[in-house]
């Protein structure tokens, strides 16, 4: 097994143990990145020098006797997270040349734990999208089929981890942006409870929903990453001052004694026989591991999409106002300041970003605010209540992470069909719940010639990450779906 193919846990153990240096791992990963990323397109910026300097520092710290839980672990950082001295674009032309003068708290914590930033990864512009096709700065391909999307918005980090260009990908999930690309790229995509990971230094899309989390090839790696990045941050008022329990050392091997809810309203028969059978099998596997399956109901979950597409655009319309050409980023000169604003934003934002700014501006406008924004907030409360009631009957809920495997480029040409990709992930985001996607099987899509991974979504009550990751670990260990197929980029890498 090549160095770069190892899991984060393996690399950290070996680097900590001194059998391999962070510098060696970093060189191996960088070589691999330069070999494959021209085809995959995971990174917008590869940080060769920054990575090498970080590796040197990690090796020094190990020599000095420090214990680093992520020693030498190659990290892909989504390009909406600030890292001092690196270009941070959010996948947008408006920030194409912007270099961050400070580091996001979550990124700083990962680096402090010994992770090596290999590069800044591609994403849908300002995290708005489900395929990475909304990036203004590059195309990212799914490593399992280069004709297909990696999912989004965290497409770059997902592709990077799937293609062994990093062991941990940092992503942000607003309505499914970690979980859906996780499912599409045969990964564990984990969104912790809202408030668990600081948003300071994460370029905001929708502040009340945005949450940073990891994409990894194993549940254990997700747990390690989660332990390193989470915790209260005085720089983020919405971060929670609550102890983060150790998780990676407490991953369970079975599901005995757990009640897992299957959501009546999420009837997978609508997704076609093949997918229906796949999820049916997944649920039975949970049962076989000792869980008791029970039916639960989320009657308002169906309103999730409509609710989300009012709240998220409303917040984004305000969050993205600062990209005005005055202080940083793109500026297109105009006759006066208003003309400059208009020209800059017309040139700097892509169509999906403009669409959401317009929807959000409309939803917040005087006369419409009560009808749209206020009602959406009420619906959000009802959805969270539904989950609370369901969790009175069960410990976890299982459902699909996405309604299909990764689709081909340009397959979702109308915005609404793209929005539907997040149908299963949005309700948990609205409720602030921890949720993850774990590989649960393979489907060869119609017209496709390669099997593509599917993801099982698990969600649990607020702050029960330990339970959630533990259950996912038991399922992963018993089913081993992820290792059944290899990525398709071997031809590219020449291996």
* Residues 133 to 162 in contact with other proteins, rule: CB under 8 A: none
Closest CA to 118 of 48, 70, 56, 60: 48
Print burial letters for 371-383: b (CB count within 10 Å at least 16), e (below 16).
ebbebbeebbeeb
Q: Which stretch binds other proteins (CB under 8 A): 160-168, 334-342, 411-419, 466-474?
A: 334-342
Q: Pick from 19, 65, 237, 335: which binds other proteins (CB under 8 A)?
A: 237
| One character per residue 270-289, x = contact with other proteins (rule: CB under 8 A) | --------------------
Q: Token pair of 375, please?
A: 């009602």
Per annotation, catalytic residue among 21, 78, 404, 412: 78
262 is a site residue for other proteins (CB under 8 A): no
Per annotation, catalytic residue among 92, 153, 198, 460: 153
- By CB atoms closer than 10 A (0-12, 13-18, 19+), residue 477 is middle
Q: Pick from 56, 147, 238, 408: which binds other proteins (CB under 8 A)?
A: 238
Q: Which stretch binds other proteins (CB under 8 A): 29-37, 108-116, 236-244, 422-430?
A: 236-244
Minimum distance from residue 48 beta carbon to other proteins (Å): 24
**Cβ nearer to other proteins, comparing 291 with 330:** 330
364 is a site residue for other proteins (CB under 8 A): yes
# residues near other proteins by CB under 8 A: 45
Q: Pick from 147, 208, 297, 408: which binds other proteins (CB under 8 A)?
A: 208
Sign for the CA dihedral angle at 180, 185, 186, 191 comes to negative
Would residue 78 show up in a list of annotated catalytic residues for this protein?
yes
Per annotation, catalytic residue among 7, 130, 172, 177: 177
Question: Rounded to an integer, what distance in angstroms lies between the CA atom of residue 313 and that of residue 417?
Answer: 17
Closest CA to 316 of 372, 355, 277: 355
Question: Rounded to an integer, what distance in angstroms lies between the CA atom of residue 26 and that of residue 53?
Answer: 10
201 is a site residue for other proteins (CB under 8 A): yes
* Residues 97 to 126 in contact with other proteins, rule: CB under 8 A: 98, 100-102, 104
Omega within 30 of 0 (cis) for the link into 342: no
Paired with 435 in beta bridges are 191, 459
Question: Rounded to an integer, what distance in angstroms lies between the CA atom of residue 202 and that of residue 78?
Answer: 9
* Residues 366 to 405 in contact with other proteins, rule: CB under 8 A: 366, 369, 373
The DSSP symbol for 234 reads T
**Cβ nearer to other proteins, comparing 107 with 406:** 107
In degrees, to the nearest 5, what angle opens at C-alpha 298 toward C-alphas 292 and 303?
150
Minimum distance from residue 324 beta carbon to other proteins (Å): 6
Residue with tokens 């809810």: 261
| One character per residue 70-99, x = contact with other proteins (rule: CB under 8 A) | ----------xxx-----x-x----x--x-
Q: Pick from 361, 375, 408, 415: which binds other proteins (CB under 8 A)?
A: 361
Closest CA to 104 of 122, 118, 117, 123: 117
Question: What stretches of 365-409 show up as alpha helix (H) in DSSP?
Answer: 375-391
Q: Which residues bind other proteins (CB under 8 A)?
A: 80-82, 88, 90, 95, 98, 100-102, 104, 199-204, 206-208, 234-238, 314-315, 317-318, 321-324, 326-328, 337-338, 341, 361, 364-366, 369, 373
Q: Which residues are catalytic?
A: 78, 153, 177
């Amino acid at each position: 097994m090549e160095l770069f193919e190892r899991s984060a846990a393996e690399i950290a153990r070996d680097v900590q143990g001194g059998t391999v240096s962070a510098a060696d791992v970093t060189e191996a990963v960088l070589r691999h990145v330069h070999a494959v990323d021209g085809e995959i397109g995971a990174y917008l910026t590869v940080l060769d020098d920054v990575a090498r300097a970080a590796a040197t520092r990690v090796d020094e710290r190990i020599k000095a006797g420090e214990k680093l839980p992520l020693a030498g672990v190659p990290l892909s950082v989504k390009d909406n997270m600030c890292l001092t001295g690196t270009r941070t674009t959010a996948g947008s032309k408006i920030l194409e040349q912007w270099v961050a003068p400070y580091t996001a708290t979550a990124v700083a914590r990962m680096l402090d734990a010994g992770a090596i930033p290999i590069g800044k990864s591609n994403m849908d512009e300002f995290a708005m999208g489900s395929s990475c096709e909304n990036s203004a700065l590059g195309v990212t391909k799914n490593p399992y089929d280069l004709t297909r999307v990696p999912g989004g918005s965290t497409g770059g980090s997902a592709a990077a981890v799937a293609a062994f260009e990093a062991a941990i990908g940092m992503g942000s999930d607003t309505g499914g942006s970690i979980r859906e690309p996780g499912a599409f790229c045969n990964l564990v995509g984990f969104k912790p409870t809202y408030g668990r990971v600081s948003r300071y230094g994460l370029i905001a899309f929708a502040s009340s929903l945005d949450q940073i989390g990891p994409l990894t090839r194993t549940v254990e790696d997700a747990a390690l990453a989660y332990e390193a990045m989470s915790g209260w941050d005085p720089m983020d008022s919405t971060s929670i001052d609550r102890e983060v329990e150790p998780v990676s050392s407490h991953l369970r091997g079975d599901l005995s004694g757990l009640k897992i809810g299957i959501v009546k309203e999420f009837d997978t028969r609508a997704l076609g026989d093949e997918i229906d059978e796949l999820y049916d099998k997944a649920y039975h596997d949970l049962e076989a591991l000792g869980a008791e399956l029970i039916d639960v109901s989320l009657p308002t979950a169906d309103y999730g999409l409509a609710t989300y597409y009012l709240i998220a655009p409303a917040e984004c319309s305000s969050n993205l106002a600062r990209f005005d050409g005055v202080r940083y980023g793109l500026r297109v000169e105009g006759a006066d300041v208003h003309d400059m604003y208009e020209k800059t934003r017309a040139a700097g934002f892509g169509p999906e970003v403009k669409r959401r700014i317009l929807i959000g501006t409309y939803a917040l406008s005087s006369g419409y605010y009560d009808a749209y924004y206020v009602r959406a907030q009420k619906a959000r409360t009802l959805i969270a209540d539904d989950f609370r009631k369901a969790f009175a009957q069960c410990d976890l809920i299982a459902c699909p992470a996405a309604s299909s495997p990764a689709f081909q480029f340009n397959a979702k040409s109308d915005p609404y069909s793209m929005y539907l990709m997040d149908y299963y992930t949005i309700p948990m985001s609205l409720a602030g719940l921890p949720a993850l996607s774990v590989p649960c099987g393979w489907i060869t899509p119609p017209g496709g010639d390669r099997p593509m991974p599917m993801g099982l979504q698990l969600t649990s009550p607020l702050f029960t990450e330990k339970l959630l990751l533990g259950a996912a670990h038991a399922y992963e260990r018993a089913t081993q779906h992820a290792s059944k197929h290899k990525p398709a980029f071997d031809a590219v890498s020449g291996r």
